[in-house]
Amino acid sequence: MLNSTVLMKPLESKRILVTGGTGSLGQTLVRRILTGELGMPAQVTVFSRDEAKQHYMRLEFMHRETATDDVIYQNSRERLNFRIGDIRDYPAVVAAIRSADIVFNAAALKQVPSCEYFPMEAVLTNVNGAANIVRAVRENDLPVKKVIGISTDKACKPINVMGMTKALQERIFVEANRDLPEVHFNCVRYGNVIASRGSIVPLFVDQIRKQQPLTVTLPEMTRFLLSLDRAVDTVFEAVKSEGRGLTFVPKVASAKITDVAEVLMGETKLPITFTGIRPGEKVHEIMVSEEECFRTVERGDHYVILPVLPELRDGAAVENALANEYSSKDGNIAGEELRKLLMQSGDEIAKFMT
């Protein structure tokens, strides 16, 4: 169940594999790992299928000279390497994991409309990719001790293909704990990352710069909002835990998308155009469902959902941290509070707003 033991330096001298490591979350995760805040790893390998993204990430991490980032860039030269491969390709996954102690699975198809139009592609990456990791560990006596699956709020009560496939990824990793007792499989589930590629905030910034109307799907639309670093905090919370089959959820703010648009505009007044809900899109996101509340506990700045399979829980009484579902429709922030959150979400957004 939820083991209270927390490892303070779980990455010390470990060999780490980050699948999908060239994505927004993956790059921030790699940067934070290389600071050594959870211990200095022996090696960090970025595994992805996009050679162009790997090339530019390599340049950014290994050749940029910035005095304040000496630790990261020196560690990049010594510890960071790149491997071309596809999470869908089982032999490539086996080869990549063969020399890993800890795996962070950030590989995903995550654009909601794209997954609606190409559902089998989402299955191949989000479901089969997770299954390939589990199979590789199970069938090849690999040294892996921890696997952290990166999920999404859309996996909770899913209505779209992206959420459905991520929900299955969560179940695949949780179930893997049953017959692989020496390996800890945990997940993290979080909401809209403010500055990530494809999120609404960069789109609004671009529209404001071009003096275009801001496009919002519906007036009622709400979302959880968190920075990339807050997302990584949640991933780190999961890797520090000695529990198994757990899903970590950050306590974060939520807001109406129209309020996000208004705050970003500031003194600039542009019209907001309502375009209608997109294929597979939710009006409100949920990170913990009513059904999960009875097995959700509190740990500092996070909620922790205990395994759905009872044999992975120890049967001890649980003091429920939530009485109702954890939804973005509740407790929305606006005005100055929302402005402060957006200002903290990344240098580019902060520079735009000042």
Residue with tokens 């179940």: 171
Q: Which amino acid is at 249?
A: V
Closest CA to 270 of 197, 192, 216, 315: 216
Contacts of 219 (CB under 8 A, 6+ apart): 256, 258, 274
How far is the C-alpha of 79 from the C-alpha of 82, rounded, in Å?
10
- DSSP single-letter state for residue 241: B
Q: Which residue of the set 14, 110, 146, 154 is catalytic?
A: 154
- φ/ψ of 263, rounded to 5, equals -65, -40
256 is a catalytic site residue: no
How far is the C-alpha of 104 from the C-alpha of 37, rounded, in Å?
16
DSSP E strand boundaries for 165-212: 184-188, 192-193
Please report, in angstroms and rounded to a whole number, the separation of the first and last CA atoms in the chain: 46
- φ/ψ of 175, rounded to 5, equals -65, -30
Q: Which amino acid is at 214?
A: L
Closest CA to 313 of 210, 244, 263, 231: 244
Q: Got the DSSP string for 47-58? A: EES-HHHHHHHH
The set of catalytic residues is: 154
